[in-house]
Amino acid sequence: MPSNKELISEAQDLSGELNLAIDTDGLKNDELVSLVSDLRAKKRDADTDTQADEPQSSGPVVAQGRAVTTRRGVLGPGEAIFAKDVTGGDKTLQNLIKAGIVVS
């Protein structure tokens, strides 16, 4: 488990990126872990909101609320996905589309 010093540093970094004011004085390790976890989630949400505002690709993209692990890493909602990104190529991509994980 990370030390309190590491958790406080990460919490301050994340809050700065999110333009949030936080107070870590007197928080115990488990409370700091919870705070950092919440800030990470807020940052992911903020990043996802930013991505949603970007122009959509004309090809298949990952559906809202979904993520796909690919050769390029984990792709989130609205990110373009290609047959070369997944094992099995076009067949796998078509199965992801049928399952509603990817939309074209």
Q: What is the pLDDT of residue 56?
A: 53
- Both 22 and 46 in one domain: the answer is yes
Query: What is the count of structural domains for the chain?
Result: 2
Helix ranges, the chain (H): 4-17, 29-53, 89-98
* Close Cβ partners of 32 (under 8 Å, ≥ 6 residues apart): 4, 7, 8, 11, 24
Q: What is the pLDDT of residue 54?
A: 52
Range of 78's domain? 61-103
Half-sphere exposure for 51 (CA within 13 Å, toward CB): 18
Average pLDDT per consecutive 10 residues, the chain (104 residues; last block may be shorter):
88 87 87 89 77 62 92 90 93 95 92
Which pair of structure tokens corresponds to residue 23? Answer: 């107070």
- Using an 8 Å Cβ cutoff, are 61 and 35 in contact? no
- Both 48 and 79 in one domain: the answer is no
Residues recorded for the chain: 104
